[in-house]
C-alpha cells in the first residue's frame, strides 16, 4: 500500500526496509518487496530495526524480548548482502530524526502494514514527512487484511470467508529464506555520521546495558527468550512433541500442551506462514486435500489429523479474526465496540450487587480470595503468560469483581498489556473483548453481573482441569513467601 505521494528517488544510495512489526528476515512479504525494489533499482538494501523507549506499556520485559530478537537478526544478516542497523533509544525522544536522516539517502522505503493502532499512527505520521516513496506491506497472516472489507462478528462467519477465499492466498507465500544467496550491491554509503548520533544497539549476549534504561512500568524480563531462532526451536519442539495431543490437551495448564508461539507471532519473530508450512509438511499435506466445504465448520477443512486441524483453527481462524477486526472496525478497543446484545445485558446488570470487589492494585498483586485466579495472575506477572483456558477464566473473574464492565475492561487491558509478552496485539483485544461477549452469543440462564454473557467459574474449572501441578507451582505456598501481611490488608472486599 502506498503511504505517501512522494516519488522513488533513483539517484539516492539504498533501499530502506523500516522494520516495525514483522521483526524477522524470513517468510516476510515486506522484506521480499524491499529486496524486489533494491534489485529493480540496483541498490543495496538497509534494514532499520528501531526500538523507542516510550511505546505503549514499554518495559524491560518487552524490550529484552525484542533486543534478543535483534541479536539473532544481526547474526543472520552478517554474512549476507543485506545491511542490518539495530537501534535502541537510550533516552526518551533520542530516536527523533533517525528515519528522516536515513530517508534523505533512501531511493525508496518499505515498511510493515499493521493494524496495531500505535504502529499505524507512527507510519502515517512518518509518511506525511518523507520526501521519498513509502510503501507498507502486509505480512500479518495468511489472509491479507485487504482481502476483506468488513469486520466479522463470529469465528464461524470468518471461517466461512476463509473457506471461500484462502485457497488462492496459500499459493502466494513469502520467500522462506530470502537472504540465502542474496545478490545485491553492498552498502557503500557511509553511515558514520548517522551512527554517531544514533549508535547501533550493542547487542552483547548479556544485554546488561538494558538495566541502564528507565521505564515507567517496572516489569522484569520473563524467562522466555525472544528471537527467530528460539521461535523456530519452539515450533519444532511443539510439532514433534505437542501437536498430536493438542486437541485433547490445549486447555490443560501444562507447559507443553500448546505451542507458546503467541509472543513470537506478536513481535513478528515467526510468521503464520512458517508455522503453517511446518504443520502441513508434518501432515504430508498437499492442496488437493483442502475440502470444498464452505459451511464454516471447524472440522475437516484442511484434510489433516484432528489435532492439526484444531491447532490451525486457532492459528488461522482465531488469530486472523482478531486482525480482521482491528483492521476493519473503527474504535475496536472501545467498550462500545461490543455487540449490541452484550452491551444491553451487561448494562442491565451493571448495578447488581458484587459479592467481591477488587481494585486494580489488588488484582495486580494476586490478592483476591480465589487461589486459582491468584495463581494465574502470578504466572502472568512472573512469566508473561497464562495458559489458554485459565486466561479465559482470568478475564471472566475480573468482570465479576469489578464495579462496572467498563472498569473490568480497563483492568484487563492494563494487566494483560503490562505483563503478557504477547500483549498489545489485535488478539489481546479479541481475547479481552471475548470475555465481555465479542464473537460469542447469549447463554442462559441469565445471571447476576453477567446477564447472558457466558459465565465461567473457578469451581467448574477445578473440576474440568487437572490443576494440582499448576497450583503447586503458582499457588498459595508461593504467595506466602512473597506477599507481606501488610499487602494483604489492601485487599478490598465487600
Binding site for ligand FAD (CB under 6 A): 250, 258-262, 265-266, 314-315, 318-319, 322, 388, 391-392, 395, 412, 416, 420, 422-423, 425, 427-428, 430-432, 434-435
* Minimum distance, C-beta of residue 112 to ligand FAD, in the bound complex (Å): 17
Residue 52 CA to residue 63 CA, distance in Å, equals: 9
Q: Which residue has the cell 464452505?
A: 294
d(CA 98, CA 96): 6
- Within 78-191, residue ranges assigned H as helices are 98-103, 117-129, 155-170
As measured in angstroms, the least distance from the Cβ of 223 to ligand FAD is 15
Spatial distance between the Cα atoms of 271 and 27, rounded to a whole number of angstroms: 6
Q: Give me the least distance between CB of 406 and ligand FAD, in Å please.
A: 16
Minimal distance, residue 416 CB to ligand FAD, in Å:
5
The smaller minimum CB distance to ligand FAD, of residues 174 and 322, is found at 322
CA distances, 353 to each of 160, 327, 341, 350, 457 (Å): 41, 37, 21, 9, 17
Q: Which residue's CB is nearer to ligand FAD, number 4 or number 262?
A: 262
Q: Nearer Cβ to ligand FAD, position 144 or 322? A: 322
CA-derived radius of gyration, the chain: 23
**Which CB sits closer to ligand FAD, 165 or 251?**
251
Query: Strand, coil or helix: what is 116?
Result: coil
Closest separation between CB of residue 435 and ligand FAD, Å?
5
For ligand FAD, the closer of residues 184 and 456 by Cβ is 456
User: Which residue number has the CB closest to ligand FAD?
Assistant: 431
Find where cell 500442551 sits.
257
Q: How far is the CB of 275 from ligand FAD (least distance, A)?
A: 8
Cβ atoms 171, 345 nearer than 8 A: no
Q: Quick one: 101 or 469, whose CB is closer to ligand FAD?
A: 469
Report CA-CA distances (Å) from 247 to 310, 313, 340, 363.
Answer: 6, 11, 32, 31
Closest CA to 417 of 19, 22, 23, 61: 61
Amino acid at each position: 500500500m502506498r503511504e505517501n505521494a512522494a516519488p522513488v528517488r533513483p539517484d539516492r544510495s539504498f533501499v530502506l526496509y523500516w522494520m516495525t512489526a514483522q521483526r524477522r528476515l524470513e517468510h516476510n512479504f515486506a522484506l521480499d518487496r524491499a529486496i524486489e525494489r533494491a534489485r529493480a533499482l540496483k541498490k543495496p538494501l538497509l534494514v532499520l530495526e528501531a526500538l523507542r523507549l516510550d511505546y505503549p506499556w514499554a518495559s524491560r520485559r518487552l524490550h529484552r524480548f525484542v533486543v534478543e530478537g535483534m541479536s539473532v537478526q544481526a547474526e543472520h544478516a552478517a554474512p549476507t548482502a543485506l545491511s542490518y542497523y539495530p537501534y535502541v533509544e537510550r533516552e526518551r525522544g533520542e530516536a527523533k530524526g533517525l528515519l528522516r536522516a536515513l530517508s534523505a539517502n533512501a531511493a525508496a522505503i518499505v515498511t510493515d502494514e499493521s493494524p496495531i493502532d500505535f504502529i499505524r499512527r507512527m507510519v502515517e505520521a512518518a509518511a506525511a514527512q518523507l520526501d521519498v516513496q513509502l510503501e507498507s506491506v502486509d505480512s500479518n497472516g495468511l489472509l491479507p487484511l485487504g482481502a476483506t472489507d468488513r469486520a466479522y462478528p463470529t469465528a464461524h462467519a470468518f471461517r466461512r470467508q476463509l473457506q471461500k477465499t484462502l485457497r488462492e492466498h496459500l499459493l502466494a507465500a513469502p520467500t522462506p529464506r530470502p537472504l540465502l544467496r542474496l545478490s545485491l550491491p553492498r552498502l557503500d554509503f557511509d553511515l558514520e555520521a548517522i551512527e554517531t548520533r544514533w549508535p547501533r544497539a550493542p547487542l552483547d549476549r548479556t544485554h546488561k546495558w538494558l538495566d541502564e534504561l528507565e521505564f515507567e512500568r517496572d516489569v522484569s524480563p520473563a524467562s522466555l527468550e525472544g528471537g527467530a531462532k528460539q521461535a523456530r526451536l519452539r515450533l519444532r519442539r511443539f510439532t514433534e512433541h505437542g501437536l498430536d495431543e493438542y486437541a485433547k490437551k490445549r486447555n490443560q495448564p501444562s507447559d507443553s500442551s500448546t505451542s507458546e508461539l503467541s509472543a513470537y507471532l506478536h513481535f513478528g519473530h515467526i510468521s503464520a506462514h512458517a508455522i503453517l508450512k511446518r504443520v502441513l509438511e508434518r501432515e504430508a499435506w498437499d492442496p488437493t486435500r483442502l475440502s470444498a466445504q464452505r459451511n464454516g465448520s471447524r472440522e475437516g477443512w484442511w484434510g489433516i489429523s484432528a489435532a492439526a486441524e484444531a491447532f490451525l483453527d486457532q492459528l488461522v481462524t482465531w488469530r486472523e479474526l482478531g486482525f480482521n477486526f482491528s483492521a476493519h472496525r473503527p474504535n475496536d478497543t472501545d467498550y462500545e465496540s461490543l455487540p449490541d446484545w452484550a452491551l444491553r445485558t451487561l448494562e442491565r446488570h451493571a448495578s447488581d450487587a458484587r459479592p467481591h470487589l477488587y481494585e486494580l492494585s489488588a488484582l495486580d498483586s494476586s490478592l483476591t480470595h480465589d487461589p486459582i485466579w491468584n495463581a494465574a495472575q502470578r504466572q502472568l506477572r512472573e512469566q508473561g503468560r497464562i495458559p489458554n483456558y485459565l486466561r479465559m477464566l482470568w478475564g471472566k473473574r475480573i468482570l465479576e469483581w469489578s464495579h462496572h464492565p467498563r472498569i473490568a475492561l480497563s483492568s484487563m487491558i492494563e494487566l494483560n498489556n503490562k505483563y503478557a509478552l504477547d500483549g498489545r496485539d489485535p488478539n489481546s483485544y479479541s481475547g479481552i473483548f471475548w470475555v465481555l461477549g465479542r464473537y460469542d452469543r447469549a447463554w442462559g440462564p441469565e445471571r447476576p453481573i453477567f446477564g447472558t454473557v457466558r459465565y465461567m467459574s473457578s469451581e467448574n474449572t477445578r473440576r474440568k482441569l487437572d490443576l494440582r501441578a499448576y497450583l503447586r507451582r503458582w499457588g498459595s505456598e508461593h504467595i506466602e513467601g512473597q506477599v507481606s501481611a501488610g499487602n494483604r490488608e489492601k485487599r478490598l472486599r465487600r
